[in-house]
Amino acid sequence: MVALVHFASVDFELSPVERVAVLKKILTPALRLRQINLYHCTAVLAIAAMAFLAAPHRLGADEPYARSRDYDLQHSKIVLRFDTDQKKVIGDVTHTLSILRDSTAKIAFDSVNLTIQNVTVNKSPAKFESTATKLIVSLPAASHLGDKFEIEVRYEGKPAKGMYFILPDKNYPNRPKQIWTQGESEDTRYYLPTYDYPNDRLTTETILTVPASWLTVANGKLINVIDAPNSMKTWTWRESLPSSTYLITVVAGEFDEIKDPYRNLPLTYYAPKGRGHRLNINYGRTPQMVELFKKKLGVDYPWEKYAQVMVDDFVAGGMENSSATTNTSSSLKHPKLVPEYPTNEDDLISHELAHQWFGDLVTCKDWGDVWLNEGFADFFETVWREAHYPKDQTDFKRWNTAREWFWKTDLFAKPIVRFDFDDSTSDEFDGNAYEKAGFVLYMLRHQIGEEQFWRSLKHYLEVHRGQNVVTADFVKAIEETTHINNDRFFNEWIYGAGAPKFDLSYTYDDVKHQLALKVKQTQKVEGSVGIFQVPTNVEITTASGPKLYPITVSKAAETFTFPSDSAPLMVLFDKGGHLLKFADFHKEKKEWLYQLAHATEFSDRADAAVALGKIKNDDEAVAALGRAMKDDKSPDMRAVAADALSHVTGSLAAKQLLVALDVNEDPLVRAHIVAALGYFKDESSIPTRLEAIARDDHSFRARAAALQSLGRLKSPNAFASITTAVKGDSPDDFLRDAGLRAFGYLGDDKAVPVLREWSSLGKAVPSRMAAIASLGRIDKDNKELTRFIASYLSEPRFAVRESAIVALGNRGDASAIPALEDLLQANDLSIEMVPMIKEQITKLQKHPSAKGTAHSGDSDDDKEPASSDQSAVTQRLDKLEHLFQEMSDRLKSIEARLPPPKKDHDQ
Ligand SMILES: [Zn+2]
């Protein structure tokens, strides 16, 4: 799965640094909320507890470890109809199961708030009890190991989650009808009574009766579509390979479909009706991805088809249901915007596709091992980039991932495999299971070698095909393939926590012609964090050229010596950035200048740009960053240089940015330069230039960034420029939404009426989100406005509701607390909402008087909903980034005064 928050955080307006801060501050990877009603209803709790005690099974008793099982669910025939008026599912499911434990007398299914009408066992009426979370079916007599039963359950329900009804209404009369499900992690039970934990696998037959004009998608092969009474059709899908119940999918509604078969594999893409023309331009690389992954793995695509269905208001970014991925429809970019995004949605598309092998064919046995799904999917984003895009695009992603991961400080002390996660927020789906684990796989490949790595993956897939796995299965598969013992590697990186933080410095002895590199690991050794043993390299460049030396770092402090014919021009540690590490390499300015201009690898030049951006009032550093913005071959590098200059400020930096703007046509680079210009408050020529860019630049991204910068600079004409953008038309309202967000930066109360207008029902959801976010930042003493925003808390649309939650927190008006507390009692909250609401309440309780016309756009604890506008996020991140720089400078000066660590093993 890709969480919505993860998906949405990747946006053009955010510099790498800013994205780091987004991830650090707002990632709340809460992907599951179990049984939330129970927390507030002791009566129900008591009933559930009694039912639980009465049942002889052990369902649930083992979690967070994998459940012990009484039965093996082998096949489910799922027959569904829908009452769209009541948002109700009417179901008839027949489970075929086999008993795993002698004397089993009752079968328990997970079933949340479903009305069970009738149950039969082997076609005879059966006794059953149903509680708020379980359906317990009595077997006719105590059964024995191996006995088989067919249990049919007729039921109906209005699912609070798991299944979602997206329908037209009076405000959105043209919205295509869509019904879709989202099972992961444990939400299938909200619309289907079943065994809802990953450690069981079953085949399915899904039979859906829907209006004749609708399409449906479910797991597996389409068997037939036949006419049914009342202008309906019945679709039958059959999945003959077993997978876990969280991977079951049902989608039905008004969709456009494109078939793009790849060899014998049926490949289909679906868009909400009317957006079919966007499918190929965004998804058309899927066949190449299938080909690449299949070739790399040496294992065929495992399922009978691959469908990708894009749905509106999706609660995640993407979900890898077996053979039928569901993605957010916001991945269907407008054709005019697509050229401005170098890799477009390929990370999402390759991530979900890779899951078809890692996650679906081979599935984690418990959520503590979820990196076996998510880390692999993240890693394959890189595999696709490497194969399809210039090398710098992959290098940038890796460089940026490492930075972002270190910024999310709460991840450092946690191992990738762990069982202390918080059920209420699903925090096991964190940046360790995703980004860190993806990086760890990259390092593993680097260390054991390309050929051995891919052979190991093939072996792992072949041995465990159709099974549930734990980390040890993967470790063993590598050892069986390569005969290399990787226990240390896994102990350090997967079972252990953290990553090395290096403090690096060197001296050159011009008598011995020798360079001594001092390497310290400064991470705090405690809990699961230790000292790392890592192979890496050092490259020394002198006038006679570069020389690369392999080394293995293994101590808290050690010194490596190398021959060097003359004083070095450049010393690189871990050239190319192949390690997940933090490095503070003490170098002189002239070395960073040389490195920025001459290093061959992206990560080394990017490190130099960041280092030079921290040097204040230095014309040489500014000029060097200016040259990088003009001359570096990598657009990502030019963008990093622009970001670095935004921290330098001053007239020379402004001049360099303006010059670079003249020579950079690339939308990504232009957007970064324009965003950087928003930090130069004292340069009088900038607003006029920004106004022109906002009006008619060839890049929409640059125009949006210009609106943001105008707001930030609060220039005299900003209000007029932003108003023009909000009134104008652009692809997918791209500029309008940027303008609505820019009003929040500007902080002018005059914008309230227009923001109220665009926040209202009937307007496009992204515009509403942008407007609500900005309303959170202006006219903060206006209690009526607080009440107005609070009225959006009851919105069925999660994204709008989340915008309102965060906007209320940002206003600092404590009168919003009761409304937020009421919302906590609702039973239809999205996966990310509970922690979000609690955090805003805490914020308001702490700062009940936080108010003022101060444009808290710059407040560092403003919080945006994950799925909402990124510019507003950017706004608050500026401050954070600058704050961090200050803190890190202060920390360095403190560290410099501390005695050396006790564990010194200087050679
Ligand atoms: Zn995923």
- Sheet containing 324-328: order of strands: 2-3, 316-319, 324-328, 306-311, 267-272, 255-259
Report whether pLDDT(537) > 90: yes
Residues 90, 156: contact at Cβ < 8 Å?
yes
What's the average model confidence in pLDDT over 497-523?
A: 98
Q: How much distance in Å is there from the Cα of 357 to the middle of ligand 1?
A: 12
The per-residue pLDDT for 4 is 65
Greatest mean pLDDT among 35-44, 289-298, 423-432:
289-298
Compute the distance from residue 358 Cα to the ligand 1 centre, in Å: 9
Q: How far apart are CA 718 and CA 665, in angstroms?
A: 24
Helix (H) or strand (E) holding 355, with range, is helix 346-355
How far lies 672's CA from each of 170, 696, 702, 856, 869, in Å?
A: 40, 17, 8, 23, 17
Beta bridge partners of 154: 92, 118
Alpha carbon of 863 to ligand 1 centroid (Å): 25
CA atoms of 184 and 357, how far apart (whole Å): 17
Lowest mean pLDDT among 351-360, 417-426, 773-782: 417-426
Q: Report the range of poorest mean pLDDT among 24-33, 176-185, 410-419.
A: 24-33
Quote the tokens at residue 479.
């050892």
What average pLDDT does range 784-797 have in this prediction?
94
Question: How confident is residue 3, by pLDDT bands cut at 50, 70 and 90?
Answer: confident
What is the distance in A from the centroid of ligand 1 to the CA of 320?
7
**Cα 429 to ligand 1 centroid, rounded to whole Å:** 9
Is 44's pLDDT higher than 70?
no
State in Å: Cα 354 to ligand 1 middle: 9
Arithmetic mean of pLDDT, 631-657: 96
Question: What's residue 898's pLDDT?
Answer: 52
The position carrying tokens 């652009």 is 730
pTM score, two decimals? 0.89
Residue 150 clears pLDDT 80, i.e. is over it:
yes
pLDDT tens digits, residue range 248-287? 999 999 999 999 989 999 999 999 999 999 999 999 999 9
Among 706-720, 756-770, 854-868, where is mean pLDDT lowest?
Answer: 854-868
Q: How many helices (H) and strands (E) does the chain have?
A: 29, 30
Ligand 1 centre to CA of 412 (Å) is: 21
Residue among 318, 320, 311 at smallest CA distance from 293: 320
How far apart, in whole angstroms, are the C-alpha atoms of residue 824 and residue 819? 9
Secondary structure of 866-896 in HEC code, one letter for each residue: CCCCHHHHHHHHHHHHHHHHHHHHHHHHHHH
Quick one: pLDDT at residue 884? 52
* Cα separation values, 113 from 110, 125, 530, 588, Å: 10, 22, 46, 65
Instruction: Average the pLDDT over each of 153-167, 347-361, 835-849, 886-900 and give the range with the smallest value.
Output: 886-900
What is the CA(2)–ligand 1 centre distance, in A? Answer: 5
Mean pLDDT for the chain? 89
CA of 367 to the centre of ligand 1 (A): 13
Taking residues 234-245, what's their average pLDDT?
Answer: 98
Side chain identity, residue 486: N
pLDDT at position 880: 52
Measure 377 CA to ligand 1 centroid, in angstroms: 6
**pLDDT for the residue 888:** 54
% pLDDT > 90, the chain: 82
Ligand 1 centroid – CA 178 distance (Å): 23
Residue 31 has what pLDDT? 31
Ligand 1 center from residue 421 Cα (angstroms): 18
Please give the structure tokens belonging to residue 789: 């925003």
| Greater pLDDT, 728 or 875 | 728
